[in-house]
Amino acid sequence: MNEDLKKLLDHSVEYASELLMETGESYPFAAYIDTVGNVHPLEMEIDSKNVPKAGKVTETLNKYCEEELSAAKMKAYALAYEVKIQLSENETTDAIAIEMTHAEQKEIPVYYIPFTPVPKDKWIESDEDFSKAEIGEMFAVKK
């Protein structure tokens, strides 16, 4: 994995993990590598009175990043969004998918962070170290 992709993956895993631990869920987000190699977070500004569906947010972030990548305004980007994956014939789980695109590298696997939300009746509001999701081990799958 090249350095740009490693930076994007590290940033995305850290941010997704923070969201899951604090809220038990995740909303789509992105990150990108600028032309000099710095990582920048990217989220869509949301009007609290008109919250779009997660698919629309992912689509909008992807379109923006593709346009910027095509215009050579960024070198790479990562999209992170919640999915349900099938681990075996009888087992599914929630996960955060992290898809990365790089201007110079093709065939980048999709990374998954499986998680299980902790039911709200089990939340401990006063404990700052309490996680609202149990996070599993990340794995990758070739596209």
- Ordered alpha helix ranges (H), the chain: 3-23, 54-70
Does pLDDT of 66 surpass 80?
yes
Percentage with pLDDT > 70 across the chain: 90
Tokens representing 103 are: 């201007």
DSSP string, 57-86: HHHHHHHHHHHHHHTTS-SEEEEEEEEEEE
pLDDT tens-digit readout, 70-116: 999 999 999 999 999 988 889 899 999 999 999 999 899 999 999 98
What is the rounded distance in angstroms from the CA atom of residue 66 to the CA atom of residue 100? Answer: 11
Residue 118's pLDDT is 75
What is the average pLDDT score of the chain? 87
Does pLDDT of 126 surpass 80?
no
